[in-house]
Chain A
Amino acid sequence: MSGEVDVNALIGPYPFRHVPHPDPEVLVRVLAREQLRGAWVGHLPSAWYRDPAQGNELLFAALADHRALLQPVPSVRPDWPEWERALRDAADRGAVAIRAYPPQWGMAPHDAAMHRLAAACAEAGLPIVLTVRFEDLRQRNHLDVAGDLDPAAIRSLVRSSPRVRVVVTAAGRETIEFVHWGLAPAERERVWWDMSWIWGPPEDHLAHLFRTIGAARFVYGTQWPMRLTQAPRANLDLLPDELRGAELADADLIARGAR
């Protein structure tokens, strides 16, 4: 099957505003409409659960009938008792990656528990999916005080284990550059960026990043159901001529452990 894999899809409601029909059945239809060949799918409200275990159960159950297209990305919180068991369980049940939310969990950029999770995910062969933000700071609910993911947290996580692989979602140009150019070349090879929040023309941030960092460091991501799935496709369609057709990284290869 052709088309990209959306590495930044979610199901379930968002706590701070209504999100229309965030259901796996709808996501499957959206993938077909947008000619995407599959999605890595997390459970949206789990980012705010103290214990994400129940969210993971809901995620696996909701995706059970759609596993050919929708790959589960459960959350593992490394400061919670028996998180190692949760990670093993996720791997045994076919997780394609692990989501982690340091700002929502109140973790500082160099949190040792996150470093332990990075090492364990590397050992299990699972990439970690990080989320810079769910909404623009200007519209965030006054109870949503987590703040954006700090570039220092990403750099720290990547450096913490020589085998950890990280997919960062919902980053803009500044965060991407603060991390990419703040890592050694071998470290950069273990980080991929989804393009759901990168600006296109006239500032042409996506084109700039493709030229400077390379399209191979980017993956297709939409942040459905929060954001319009049409946005990343439109961004690719509006690249300058010399960059149109640039090849993104293959999410399947990332999941299988390729750099």
Chain B
Amino acid sequence: MNGGAATLAGPEPLIDVHAHFLHAGTGRKDWEAPNRARLRAGERIGITVHVASTLGSWGHSSPTYFPSPADASAGNDAMLALQKREGDRVRVYAAVNPNDTSHALREIERCVERGAVGIKLAASRRADDPLLDPICELAARRGLPILHHIWQHRRREWPGQEASDGVELGRLAARHPRVQFILAHIGGGGDYRHSYVAVRDLPNVLLDLSGSGVDRGMLDDAFAAVGSRRLIWGCDVTMETGLAKLRALEVIGLSAEQLGDVRWRNAARIFPPGSFPMLPRVER
């Protein structure tokens, strides 16, 4: 841990709702280095919990965004093992490919039984496709939030993925009002303002601040669009931008209460009760 040293983001709880880890089956010889770096940077920033997923084999034996059932399960197993090793500072999304519906449903149940607290859907199938409905129905029954990969204002097909944008996720969210959806990485590429308008009137969609993009105006506009109760902090694959955004949120004028919502309370509200035992209880 951090040895009691002051953390860069201060002592308040902090939940990263969009983290990833690698594993031995991803084909990268240095797979442990980014994992160590994430935990190291997390300690320095002051991240209380990394809520994380592994997208199958990250392209090694099946495509990152179209993982085979075997790779999806192997990735989830690696994440569950990491959670067991790291204790309360790592929590797991069950990452599934909805094209293999039966496997996806079984896999979510299997992972939840072993401690997963949410579902990760990436870009295997368009978000508004009916094939996602059984997964959302399961999420509603189990009280699991869904983190959905989003290409902000997708204007064409992109290779290697069947990406969705805010409008498409909005259709899914409207069909499943009991499920909390996390619209992934507003800084992850594309026009985030398109997403803001697309989901502004959908109270069950939260905007995840992660991504390498650090456009000035992006946070101000997100706050104006949905308010602090629907913004949720995360890093994805660039943790320095996560820290920069925390610092910028203070500059743009969020109150301490609002910052607390973004840092951890919104996450504590949407994940199943007991997901973060080290944190104070919050009103849901």
Contacts and interface: CB of A to CB of B under 8 A. Distances in A.
Contacts of B34: 201-204
Contact of B38 (A17, A201, A224, A240): A201
Interface in A221-259: 224-228, 230-231, 233-235, 237-238, 240
Nearest to B191: A139
Contacts of B190: 138-139
B248 A203 contact: no
Interface string A135-168: 1101100100000000000000000000000000
B216 interface: yes
Contacts of B216: 19-20, 224-228
B247 A200 contact: no
Contacts of A237: 8, 44, 240, 243
Nearest to B41: A201
Interface string B236-265: 011111011101100100000000000000
A234 B251 contact: no
A18 B193 CA distance: 11
B44 A202 contact: no
Contacts of B191: 139
A211 interface: no
Contacts of B240: 199-201, 206, 231, 234-235, 237-238
A33 interface: yes
A136 B213 contact: yes
B45 A238 contact: yes
Main secondary structure of the interface of A (DSSP, over half): loop
Interface in B204-241: 212-217, 220, 237-241
Contact of A138 (B189, B245, B248): B189
B189 A204 contact: no
A12 to B, nearest CB: 14
A138 B151 contact: yes
B35 interface: yes
A175 to B, nearest CB: 15
Nearest to B218: A228
Contacts of B40: 201, 240
Contacts of A202: 34-35, 37-38, 41, 237, 239
B243 A136 contact: no
Nearest to B35: A202
B229 to A, nearest CB: 23
B152 interface: yes
14 contacts: A138-B151, A139-B153, A199-B240, A201-B37, A201-B41, A203-B34, A203-B37, A203-B237, A226-B216, A228-B244, A230-B214, A230-B244, A234-B244, A237-B8
Interface of A: 17-20, 33, 135-136, 138-139, 142, 199-204, 206, 224-228, 230-231, 233-235, 237-238, 240
- A-B interface, 3 closest residue pairs, ranked by CB to CB distance from nearest: A200-B240, A138-B189, A201-B41
